[in-house]
C-alpha cells in the first residue's frame, strides 16, 4: 500500500470515528434543546409583559391612581422588552443583562402593586383582581421555564465540555451557554399580595 493511500485512509477513518464517537449529532440535539427551552422562557416573559399592559389599562380606569406609578411600570416594561436575545447569544453576560432588566421590571411591578392596595375601588374591580391572579400564575410559569432552561443548558454544557466531545465542539464552534442565576441576596420569588 502506498504511503499517500494509507495516509488518506487513516485520515478518513479518524474523521469517521471523530464524528461518530465525539458526539457531533448529540451536540446538535442538545443545542436544539437549549434553543427550545429559551423559546419557552421568552414566551413566558412575553405573557408576563402582556399581562402587565392589561393590568396598567385596568388601573388607568381609576382616574385617581398615581400617574408616577403608572409611568414607572410602563417604562420598566418598555426597557425589559427592549432587551432580547437570540438563541446564539446566550452567553452568561447576555443572560445576566436580560435577567437584570427583568428584575427591574419585577421591582417596578412590586412597587406598582403595593400602591394599588391603597385604592379600595381598584381592589373590588374583578378585572383587576383576575389580572393579579393571572400574573401570579405567570410568575410561576416563568420560574418553571427558567428551571427547564437551566437543565437544558447544563446538559448541553456538560456534553460539549466532556472528552472527547470537547475536541469536536472546539472544531465546530460549539460554545457554552449561560445560566439564569438567583439575584444576589434573594432566596425566593417576589411576593404579590392580594
Q: CB 63: neighbour CB atoms within 10 A? A: 5
d(Cα 168, Cα 22) in Å, to the nearest integer? 6
The pLDDT value recorded for residue 71 is 84
CA count, 13 A, side-chain hemisphere, 71:
3
Determine the structural domain holding residue 103 and report its residue range.
30-172
What's the number of domains the chain is made of? 1
Q: Examine residue 47 and state whether it is found in any structural domain, yes or no.
A: yes
Q: Is the peptide bond before 164 cis (omega within 30 degrees of 0)?
A: yes
Helices (H), the chain: 3-21, 24-60, 67-82, 92-116, 120-123, 126-161, 165-172
The pLDDT value recorded for residue 190 is 54
Q: Which cell goes with 140?
A: 410561576
The pLDDT value recorded for residue 126 is 85
Q: Does residue 66 carry a pLDDT above 60?
A: yes
Q: Examine residue 41 and state whether it is found in any structural domain, yes or no.
A: yes
Q: Does residue 63 carry a pLDDT above 80?
A: no
Max intra-chain CA distance, the chain: 92
Q: Does residue 155 carry a pLDDT above 80?
A: yes
Section 126-151 average pLDDT: 91
Q: Examine residue 159 and state whether it is found in any structural domain, yes or no.
A: yes
Q: Examine residue 162 and state whether it is found in any structural domain, yes or no.
A: yes
Cα 181 from chain centroid (whole Å): 11
Q: Examine residue 139 and state whether it is found in any structural domain, yes or no.
A: yes
Q: Which residue has the higher pLDDT, 183 or 131?
A: 131
The DSSP secondary-structure symbol of 162 reads: S
Determine whether 154 is exposed, middle or buried from the number of CB atoms within 10 Å of its CB (0-12, 13-18, 19+): middle
Q: Does residue 132 carry a pLDDT above 90?
A: no
Which residue's entry shows cell 411600570?
Answer: 73
The pLDDT value recorded for residue 191 is 59
pLDDT digits (tens, 9 = 90+) for 72-130: 888 998 899 888 889 889 999 999 999 999 999 999 988 888 888 888 887 778 888 88
Q: Examine residue 145 and state whether it is found in any structural domain, yes or no.
A: yes
Section 186-194 average pLDDT: 53
Q: Examine residue 1 and state whether it is found in any structural domain, yes or no.
A: no
Q: CB 105: neighbour CB atoms within 10 A? A: 22
Q: Which cell goes with 120?
A: 379600595
Whichever domain contains 45, its CATH number is: 1.20.1440.20
Q: Examine residue 9 and state whether it is found in any structural domain, yes or no.
A: no
Percent over 70 (pLDDT), the chain = 86
Residue 65: which residues within 8 A CB-CB, separation 6 or more? 59, 115, 116, 119, 122
The pLDDT value recorded for residue 168 is 86
The pLDDT value recorded for residue 119 is 81
Q: Which cell goes with 115?
A: 400602591
Amino acid at each position: 500500500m502506498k504511503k499517500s493511500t494509507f495516509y488518506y485512509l487513516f485520515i478518513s477513518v479518524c474523521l469517521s470515528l471523530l464524528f461518530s464517537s465525539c458526539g457531533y449529532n448529540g451536540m446538535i440535539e442538545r443545542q436544539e434543546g437549549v434553543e427550545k427551552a429559551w423559546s419557552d422562557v421568552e414566551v413566558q416573559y412575553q405573557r408576563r409583559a402582556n399581562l402587565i399592559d392589561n393590568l396598567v389599562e385596568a388601573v388607568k380606569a381609576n382616574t385617581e391612581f398615581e400617574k408616577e406609578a403608572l409611568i414607572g411600570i410602563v417604562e420598566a416594561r418598555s426597557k425589559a422588552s427592549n432587551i432580547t436575545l437570540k438563541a446564539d447569544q446566550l452567553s452568561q453576560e447576555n443572560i445576566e443583562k436580560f435577567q437584570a432588566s427583568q428584575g427591574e421590571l419585577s421591582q417596578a411591578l412590586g412597587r406598582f402593586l403595593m400602591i394599588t392596595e391603597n385604592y379600595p375601588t381598584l381592589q373590588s374591580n374583578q378585572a383587576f383582581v383576575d389580572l393579579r391572579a393571572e400574573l401570579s400564575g405567570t410568575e410561576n410559569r416563568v420560574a418553571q421555564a427558567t428551571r427547564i432552561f437551566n437543565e437544558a443548558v447544563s446538559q448541553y454544557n456538560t456534553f460539549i465540555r466532556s472528552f472527547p466531545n470537547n475536541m469536536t465542539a472546539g472544531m465546530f464552534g460549539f460554545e457554552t451557554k449561560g445560566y439564569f442565576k438567583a439575584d444576589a441576596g434573594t432566596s425566593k420569588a417576589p411576593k404579590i399580595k392580594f
